[in-house]
Amino acid sequence: MIRIEFLGAMATVGASGILIDTGREKLVLDYGTKVREIPPIFPIEIKGRVDAILLSHAHLDHSGGLPLFASKGKDIPIYAIDVSKPLTKLLLEDSIKISREEGIELPFNEKDVKLTISRFKEVEFRKEFDLHSAKVTFYNAGHIPGSAQIFLDLKEKALLYTGDFNTIETRLMKKADLKLPNVDILITESTYADRDHRDRKEEEREFIEMIDQTISKNGVALVAAFAVGRAQEVLLILNKYKVGYPIYLDGMAKKATNIINSYRKRIKDPKILDKALENVEYVTNNKMRKKIIKEPSIIVTTSGMLNGGPVVWYLKKLKNRRNSSLLLTGWQLEGTPGRILLESGRYINEELKLNFEVNMNVRRFDFSAHAGRKQLFEYIEKISPEKIFCIHGDHTEEFASELKELGFDAIAPIANNRIFEIK
């Protein structure tokens, strides 16, 4: 019998965590945090022994709770693709730094992060390894560098956890591996279960058009992007369309880009990223920031949802420039300053005590790294599992009922129905 206990990301995105107990071994799939919640939200605590943690990718909603094990004196190996280690380190250290600045207490410290990072064990895509009696294989998930779908051969049943995945090739990433072994139990993310993506090429063209128009009016095109994955995707798009204006990179995206560029086999075409980076200048201080906003330019910076980072500095300076633009390149979670700005035209950030009108041109573009609705259904039809669990989305219950109508045995775990035993 296999016992699957969902610990987070139920009917929502954030704080992913799953405990798989076969009676022989106890394996944890991801242990994240709900990004930007105050106080921070983590997956349900695991009582008792854990043999290993398998990490799908570095994003904090999957990794942000890992130091909790170290802080409680639990010494557990963490299996992940190589680049996930430095990326997780970068994001965890940043989360401590930000919470300090904002006076939020995290239940772990730098020492716990250090210990956590030292417990990482590198695995390779498509190479099976043993964890006690379980056989584990990581497959490319096409989401960010190092992202994996995790396949567990558990004797009784074969289980696949998608993590976050994308079956469409992007400029940065190859698409997810679709050549997979037979799967009995599928645990799937559902981020875009309720909506399709806009056509990628068209989105890119309109993105470039907005930048061209901004520059032609002598404005600054401020591009807000997530540090890991999205910032590099944006640089590749700018390179593809041979944008000739000065391009600057600022914030945590610089370190993330350096890490990603040094794990070259984790990206689709490292040579093209090299070429893109030839035309990019890193911003290192406020003096430089003041200088570059005097001229028409493109500034790619963090954070992606406008919570903090240099993007806030730029917004304060550029807010009244009607010839300048703010281009959002990712989904804006409810309650984030980015979402509020799209809905109200004001930048409101309670933690930073900011509230002002933004008169720049603001638009959100869809450069998502998640499978869209159409791709989710195609993927599930192809895998055709016996049982499906839908997590990591705002509409998991609707998604599960739609899958049921198609004849699948699907369920969306929720807080009071989250433990399942499978014979």
b/e per residue 398-420 (b: at least 16 CB within 10 A): bbbebbeeeebebbbbeeeebee
| Three-class secondary structure of residue 187 per DSSP | strand
Question: Number of residues in contact with Zn ion, rule: CB under 5 A?
Answer: 3
Strand bridging mode 2-6 / 419-422: antiparallel
Is 164 a binder of Zn ion (CB under 5 A)? yes
Looking at the Cβ atoms of 21 and 61, the one nearer to Zn ion is 61
Looking at the Cβ atoms of 191 and 301, the one nearer to Zn ion is 191
In the complex, minimum distance from the CB of residue 42 to Zn ion, in angstroms, rounded to a whole number: 14
Q: Is the peptide bond before 413 cis (omega within 30 degrees of 0)?
A: no
**Pattern of binders to Zn ion over 107-146, x per CB under 5 A?**
----------------------------------------
**Part of the chain binding Zn ion (CB under 5 A), chosen from 58-66, 246-254, 276-284, 375-383:** 58-66
Cα–Cα distances in angstroms (integers) from residue 414 to residues 44, 107, 184, 277, 329, in the given order = 12, 25, 21, 44, 30
Is 36 a binder of Zn ion (CB under 5 A)? no
| Three-class secondary structure of residue 171 per DSSP | coil
**Part of the chain binding Zn ion (CB under 5 A), chosen from 154-162, 164-172, 202-210, 358-366:** 164-172
In the complex, minimum distance from the CB of residue 370 to Zn ion, in angstroms, rounded to a whole number: 8
Number of other residues whose CB lies within 10 A of the CB of residue 124:
12
In the complex, minimum distance from the CB of residue 57 to Zn ion, in angstroms, rounded to a whole number: 6
Calpha distance 222→229 (Å, rounded): 18
Is 30 a binder of Zn ion (CB under 5 A)? no
Q: Which of 21, 61, 94, 250 binds Zn ion (CB under 5 A)?
A: 61
Helices (H) and strands (E) in the chain, counts: 13, 22
**Part of the chain binding Zn ion (CB under 5 A), chosen from 117-125, 160-168, 215-223, 232-240:** 160-168
Written as one letter, the residue type at 332 is Q
Site for Zn ion in 247-276 (CB under 5 A): none
Looking at the Cβ atoms of 210 and 388, the one nearer to Zn ion is 388
Cβ–Cβ < 8 Å for 345, 144: no
Q: Which of 34, 59, 197, 289 binds Zn ion (CB under 5 A)?
A: 59
Contact positions toward Zn ion, by CB under 5 A? 59, 61, 164
